[in-house]
Amino acid sequence: MNSNYNIFNKIYSKKISFWKANLSAWFLFSVVWAILYSEADYSASDVLKVFISNFLIPIAITTLLRYLFKQLPLNRFSINIYITIITTAALVSSVLWYLSDTLFTLLYYDYPISAIYQITFNSFAKRVIGIFILLAFWCASYFIINLFYRWKLEREDKERALYNALKAKMEVLKNQINPHFLFNSLNSISAMVDENPSRAQLIIDELASFLRYTLTYKESSRIELKKEIAFIKNYIYIQTIRFEEKLEFYINIDPRTESLMVPPAILYPIVENAVKHGMETSELPLKIYITSFYDKERITLSVKNTGRWVDYSSEKSSGTNTGLMNVKERLYCEYNDRCLFEVTSSDEFVEVNLIFLKNL
């Protein structure tokens, strides 16, 4: 199937047009015909005549057929209509070829027109049937290649439309992170600007690092995990300044996972969610563990925090689940079913795992 696909793709690529393919095929046919079916005592003019009859005439006829076929809405026909069109076109064209070749032969050799009456029905039928089979094969090939080409273009258009839609969706999801982080950071700064201006200044510095990160990787769909962890450390620094001894972070990244390519800022909503709801449900100090695990089939990123899982459907919940939904949507858009999003919880811990299957 792949070999046929490649053949059709080459025939209808920009490098090989219909004219190149058609002229080459009939030229080869005429050469083979002249070699195999010219008698030993034929003169050069006889060979030339055989060559012309089997090159110029079929070129003219197939060019006419192509013009007629292009007028038809080929993609709307059933298989029965295709067979009818091919049979009819090949039969009429084979008779036209035979008559054109006969007339050309009479003119080429300066025979009298009356010589046409010497043609028997058997010789006529035999010749027409041979030409019919040849032209039927040409028509069928034309339809198959043409339909394949149209299907290929339609598929490319659909894939392009899906890609553009997916790209637009990814941009929306990525752009949601920036104001979300900015909003929470400004709240932290606002809370500290009066009571501790120096700490507020430190948060502003880390916020600048965050914005620099988003600008640097704005056009990137994936970055190395080690760069993502460096970004998360900016956020962690902001939160440790804000909560001081009430918050403890532990990071343990397997060096073998540092080259894993992940969407930019994919961990931020998870960590931010762990801080926000962990502070509401955990005994202090809140402990958050960011780890990565490597095995032969998968790489797992884990964000685990003390506390309990918050039910977003609860009336008491202050969350909207936007951050985690954003993560799930981005992972699905980027990896489809090659990345798993799992949440496990107990009375003491909540753990969110991103499981990246190998061969991504």
Q: Which residues pair with 352 in a beta bridge?
A: 303, 343
Q: For the chain, what percent of residues have pLDDT higher than 90?
A: 20
Is 169 a domain residue? Answer: no
Q: Residue 39: which domain range?
A: 2-159
Q: Checking DSSP bridges between strand 286-294 and strand 247-252, what pairing results, if any?
A: parallel
> Do 141 and 220 fall into the same domain?
no
The answer to whether the CB of 117 falls within 8 A of the CB of 102 is no
pLDDT tens digits for range 179-206? 656 676 677 677 777 777 877 777 787 7
Report pLDDT for 85. 87
Compute the average pLDDT of residues 303-313: 81
Name 322's Cβ contacts closer than 8 Å, sequence gap at least 6. Answer: 176, 180, 269
Tell whether the model's pLDDT for residue 258 goes beyond 70.
yes
Q: Give the end-to-end CA distance of the chain in Å, rounded to a whole number.
A: 25
Report pLDDT for 252. 95
pLDDT tens digits for range 213-240? 666 666 677 889 998 898 888 788 878 8
Q: Is the dihedral of CA 60, 64, 65, 67 positive or negative?
A: positive
Spatial distance between the Cα atoms of 72 and 261, rounded to a whole number of angstroms:
50
Tell whether the model's pLDDT for residue 167 goes beyond 80.
no
Spatial distance between the Cα atoms of 348 and 282, rounded to a whole number of angstroms:
8
Is 324 a domain residue? Answer: yes
Is 110 a domain residue? Answer: yes
Please tell me the total number of residues recorded for the chain in this structure.
360
The answer to whether the CB of 302 falls within 8 A of the CB of 241 is no
Spatial distance between the Cα atoms of 288 and 266, rounded to a whole number of angstroms:
17
> Do 146 and 209 fall into the same domain?
no
Tell whether the model's pLDDT for residue 2 goes beyond 50.
no
Q: Which of 159, 176, 201 is the last residue of a domain?
A: 159
Domain count, the chain: 2
Two tokens, residue 209: 């690092």
Alpha carbon 120 to chain centroid distance?
A: 60
